[in-house]
Amino acid sequence: MNQTNQQRRRAFSVIEFFAVSTIVGIIAAIVLPRVVVDDKLAREKIRDHYAAAISVAVERYKTEHQRWPVSIADLATDPEFFPDGLPANPLTGRPFELDPVTHSVK
């Protein structure tokens, strides 16, 4: 009889498996939403940083050329502004746009 008990204890029972699966599911339900929210918040902060950097470059362009840039692409012609190229909006993956009236980045 002792040998039979040892053979049974070598594997997980169905109840143990479901208990562990439930605990893992609860932990995932708590952690996953925080990771997703933190990722979006980080991308929003990066977007704000890029928009601020582009706004500074627009002001600098105005000072150096005595006119406002027609579009953000005007900043790309001078490698001094963005030597690695214009950053894209991390939320949409599309380029930023310049409002032709207010000259603000959107």
Give how far Cα 73 sits from Cα of 16, 58, 94, Å.
61, 11, 13
Reply yes or no on whether the pLDDT at 50 is more than 90. yes
Q: Where in the chain are the domains?
A: 2-76
pLDDT digits (tens, 9 = 90+) for 4-25: 555 556 667 888 888 888 999 8
Tell me the whole-structure pTM to 2 decimals: 0.64
Report the half-sphere exposure of 83 (CA within 13 A, side-chain side): 1
Please report the pLDDT score of residue 72 as a whole number: 87
| Cα 16 → chain centroid | 38
pLDDT digits (tens, 9 = 90+) for 64-100: 989 999 888 888 888 888 888 889 999 899 999 988 8
CA distance 16 to 71: 63
- Three-state DSSP class for residue 88: strand
